[in-house]
Amino acid sequence: MRILSYNVHKGFCSANRRFLLDEIRDSIRTVNADIVFLQEVVGENQQHASAVNNWIDDSQFEYLADTIWPHYAYGKNAVYDHGHHGNAILSKYHILSSDNVDVSLYRRSQRGLLFTEIEPGIHLVCVHMGLLGWERHQQFRLLEKAIAQRVPASAPLIIAGDFNDWTGSLHQRFKRRMGLKEVFTQLNGKPVRSFPVKRPMLRLDRIYFRGFDVIEGRRLSGLPWQNLSDHCGLYAELALYK
């Protein structure tokens, strides 16, 4: 199973000067992922629709899915007068169910956890946690509770996204409390640096899992990625336990 996790920065370049959703769509297609975890994907933005020349009429997750990923789910997190954005999961596998869990802790930081189950009984969670340490720790507890309620203890599970955990304080909790492994930690001993895209310094983006073996993991940096979002994409190939 090929996995891509990517914070698309609402379709804009890292400096917010150019709208690059076409280039983002072309680039994520080249990865040939089966499952795509997206953060900061726009469902609607009326201000940009009237001001950005190449703005698209469809929701961004539908536009990115196009004919490549026939199944998708969207979790509306940040809601404002002129639109909304959140997390999305694009899938080549049939989605059996989806549920968005609101983990917003204060008005200026609207966050959610997008849960989906795909055939054959694999559970996925797309995550975008807050910028403040206390916020992320409370969101971890909410994530832990939501998994206990929604995911069978023996079910294969992938949790991917932007954890904003630059201090690494949450990382060991995923291992100790949830019994999860992380792709790049398995391969290289620690999560990969993924932000900012032009000179990655912070280890913000992760792919946690259980019920799989890691075959490959790559940080998507350099061209064309360095001219797109402010984050690097993360790619992993996982093999389901037999």
Based on its alpha-carbon atoms, the radius of gyration of the chain, rounded to whole angstroms, reads: 17
HEC readout, 5-23: EEECHHHECCCCCCECHHH
Low-confidence ranges of the chain (pLDDT < 50): none
The residue ranges of every structural domain in the chain are 2-240
pLDDT given at position 16: 78
Sheet holding 83-91, edge to edge: 71-80, 83-91, 35-45, 2-7, 233-240, 212-220
123: closest CA among 100, 102, 98, 87? 98
pLDDT given at position 31: 96
pTM score, two decimals? Answer: 0.96
How is the chain split among helix, strand and coil, in percent rounded to 5? Answer: 25, 40, 35
pLDDT in tens, 34-75: 999 999 998 887 878 778 888 888 899 999 999 999 999 999
CATH node for 2-240: 3.60.10.10
CA 236 from chain centre, in angstroms, equals 13
**Dist. CA 235–CA 1, nearest whole Å:** 11
Q: Which residues contact 135 (CB under 8 A, 6 or more apart)?
A: 105, 106, 109, 129
**Dist. CA 33–CA 29, nearest whole Å:** 8
pLDDT in tens, 213-242: 999 999 999 999 999 999 999 999 999 987
